Amino acid sequence: MDEIEGGKPAAKKPSPIVTIAAIGVLTLLAGGGGWMLGGMIAPPPENAAAAAVEPAGEEDGGKKKKDEGLPRVATEANGIVQLEAITTNLAYPSENWIRLEVALQFNGAPDVTLSEQIHQDIAGYLKTVSLQQIQGPRGFQYLKDDIQERVDLRSEGRVTNVIFRTFVIQ
C-alpha cells in the first residue's frame, strides 16, 4: 500500500522540526563566519586596544581627560575662542527661537573677558531681531554683517573674524 502504481515507494514529507533545525544551524554558521570575516577585515582600533590594556586613569586620579580624541580647532592657542551657544526668542514672532554658536578669532592673544562681553552683546542683539529680517540668504548675510560690526566696535579691532558654527531657527 505504500507503493504507488508504478512500483516506486511514496516520498515522505520532510519533518518541520528537521527543517527548523537545519535553518538554525545554517544561521549560526553564517553568523559565525560573518563575525570572523569582519574581525579580519576591520580589526579593532588601536585606541580601544590600548585602553583595554592600560588601567583606567592612574596618572590623573581616575578622571578622563577632557581633550581626548581629535584636537579641537577652536583653542586659545590658535587665537580662537568658542563662545557658549546663544539660545533666545526672536523679537517677532516671539514664539520663534534662535540658536547661534559662534567662535571669535583674535589678533594676538585671546581675551576671555572681552569674549564674554561680546557674547552678551550678541545675545542682546538677537533679542531685537525679527524673523523677517533674517529670512533667506540675504537676511542671513545681513545678520552676519551686523554681528561682525558689533564685534568690531566692542573689540576695537582685536577680533579679526567671527566664525559661525551653527545657526538654527525654530
The per-residue pLDDT for 47 is: 61
Q: Give φ, ψ of 128 to 5 degrees.
A: -100, -5
The grid coordinates of residue 155 equal 573689540
Q: What residues contact residue 129 under an 8 Å CB cut-off, 6+ apart?
A: 90, 91, 98, 143
| DSSP code for 154 | H
In contact, 103 and 75? CB cutoff 8 Å: no
What counts of helices (H) and strands (E) characterise the chain? 4, 4
For the entire predicted model, the pTM comes to: 0.56
At 47-83, the pLDDT tens digits run: 654 555 454 444 444 444 454 544 555 566 678 888 9
3-state secondary structure of 100: strand
At 116-152, the pLDDT tens digits run: 999 999 999 999 999 999 999 999 999 999 999 999 9
In contact, 148 and 162? CB cutoff 8 Å: yes
Ordered structural domains, the chain, with CATH = 76-169 (3.30.479.30)
